[in-house]
Structure 1
Amino acid sequence: MSTDRRTPLDRKRVADTALALLNEVGLDGLSLRAIARELDVKAPALYWHFKDKQALLDEMATEMYRRMVEGAPPPADATWQERLLTSCHGLRAALLSYRDGAKVYSGSRFTGTLHGVEMEATLRLFTGSGFTLAQSVRATSTAYLYTLGFVAEEQGVRPLPGERRPGFDVGERARLLADFPLTAAAGADLFQDYDRLFEEGLAMVVAGVEARYRPGAAAGES
């Protein structure tokens, strides 16, 4: 329980506390009542700042994003490929910092306009590199969704780095699926070495963007 009773209760303090508690209890165990207990206040005090749990999750996702861009800003002179890779690497690292980080982030709505700064810069870089605006949006959103989905699956096996949920032993899986040899052997690529798997998949996304849109091609091609 927090002993800092004199610090004013505001949205950021609640979100910070919720993110810290998230690593202990996970999303299913995170409740406004538990957060209030951690802050040493009554639960109704939180409703002054957040009307419900989703509103709190929105603020948590916003704080996660704020920390992410402060910690690893993309290089100013990056190519579109470098910016896409940097953004996806930063997002994955940020989500992996929290138990159920991908679940919290997915579907949440940012509570401010900070994301507009990075999004505008990204879209300007892409359109300046020969993409149409629509192509820029599809390329960046596809990479974003790949990263979010990958981490969601990764955290289903490894809630936090160094942890592994029961039931994802590759050897045991292979034994149970012995009648399906290719499926059994696939476990080694599905549930191990997530860093390598992420990099390979992200490289395929970037290569697909290049092959599909050929930046600089005539407008109207897709």
Structure 2
Amino acid sequence: MAMDRDRIVDEALALLNEVGIDKLSTRKLAERLGVQQPALYWHFANKSALLDAVNSAMLTRYHTRRLPVAGEDWVNFTFANARSMRATLLAVRDGARLTAGTRPSVAEFADTERVLKLYVDAGFSPSEAFGVAIAVTRYVVGYVLEEQGERERDLLEDQANVLTDLTAEVAPFPVLAEALKSLVQVGTINTEAVFERGLRYMVDGMQASLRAKG
């Protein structure tokens, strides 16, 4: 039976959400599709190529702010882009690990060019613009890696008890205790607030760097 490439990717994304990236295999995907495993290799040379396609599909489906809108300045875009990417990675099981392990396709270079041009038009050099884009992307991916790792642990542990134990453990360290207290809301750590704070620090630094150029 001839297989449609888009259907393979859609089913792979669904399987990823069910079993996670460690248990996602071409064998399981072939069984899900009702075909022999070699049939997948007509479309994808190996699992890495399949994951590249799944990552691209995830970003296309969920990442709504990959590109700046008309008239948008670089600061607003940076915030919108980072928030959208975080939401995208959180929407898919192991989304951050998926993105971290894949490589962009040539088809995505035009979008990258548009983003870099926004930063260059604001005063960054091409290399600085690339550095800004990479820094923001890696901040988001790294942050969500931690979030999704914590989410997996939370399935096995009582979050309230973990926080109670942690609060007791940091009590002898007043600065650390106060910092933790400010981040805990309704029995859990406000990870969104932590993310926003880190993102703001990054953008503030970028703005300062741009101002220093004169």
With the shorter chain as reference, the TM-score category is 0.7 to 0.9
Aligned to 2:110: 117
Equivalent residue in structure 2 for 1:148, among 141, 144, 148: 141
Q: Trace 1:75-90 onto structure 2 (pairs within 5 A).
A: 75-90=69-84
Rounded Cα–Cα distance in structure 2 between residues aligned with 1:149 and 1:183 = 25
**How far does residue 112 in structure 1 lie from its aligned partner after superposition?**
4.2
Rounded Cα–Cα distance in structure 2 between residues aligned with 1:103 and 1:125 = 28
> Structure 1 residues 52, 76: closer, same or farther in 2, change over 3 A?
same
Equivalent residue in structure 1 for 2:207, among 187, 205, 210: 210
Rounded Cα–Cα distance in structure 1 between residues aligned with 2:75 and 2:176 = 35
The amino acid that maps onto 2:136 is: A
Kept after mapping to 1: 8 A contact 2:68/2:115? no
Identity %: 34
Aligned to 1:194: 191
Aligned to 2:164: 171
**How far does residue 117 in structure 1 lie from its aligned partner after superposition?**
2.7
> Structure 1 residues 57, 183: closer, same or farther in 2, change over 3 A?
farther
The amino acid that maps onto 2:138 is: L
Rounded Cα–Cα distance in structure 1 between residues aligned with 2:193 and 2:119 = 27
Rounded Cα–Cα distance in structure 2 between residues aligned with 1:83 and 1:184 = 33
Rounded Cα–Cα distance in structure 2 between residues aligned with 1:80 and 1:156 = 31
1:42 aligns with 2:36: yes
Rounded Cα–Cα distance in structure 1 between residues aligned with 2:207 and 2:176 = 34
TM-score normalised by L of structure 1: 0.82
TM-score normalised by L of structure 2: 0.84
Kept after mapping to 2: 8 A contact 1:131/1:213? yes
The size of the alignment, in residue pairs, is 205
**How far does residue 79 in structure 1 lie from its aligned partner after superposition?**
0.4
Instruction: Give the CA RMSD over aligned residues.
Output: 2.5
**How far does residue 180 in structure 1 lie from its aligned partner after superposition?**
5.1
The amino acid that maps onto 1:145 is: R
Q: Tell me the secondary structure at the aligned position of residue 207 of structure 2.
A: helix
Kept after mapping to 2: 8 A contact 1:173/1:187? no
Equivalent residue in structure 2 for 1:57, among 32, 51, 55: 51
Aligned to 1:94: 88
> Structure 1 residues 128, 111: closer, same or farther in 2, change over 3 A?
closer
Kept after mapping to 2: 8 A contact 1:135/1:213? no
1:127 aligns with 2:120: yes
> Structure 1 residues 179, 88: closer, same or farther in 2, change over 3 A?
closer
Rounded Cα–Cα distance in structure 2 between residues aligned with 1:126 and 1:74 = 11
Q: Tell me the secondary structure at the aligned position of residue 45 of structure 2.
A: coil
Rounded Cα–Cα distance in structure 2 between residues aligned with 1:166 and 1:182 = 29
Q: Which has the higher helix share?
A: 2
Rounded Cα–Cα distance in structure 1 between residues aligned with 2:27 and 2:174 = 48
1:18 aligns with 2:12: yes
> Structure 1 residues 26, 192: closer, same or farther in 2, change over 3 A?
same
The amino acid that maps onto 1:166 is: L
**How far does residue 214 in structure 1 lie from its aligned partner after superposition?**
2.2
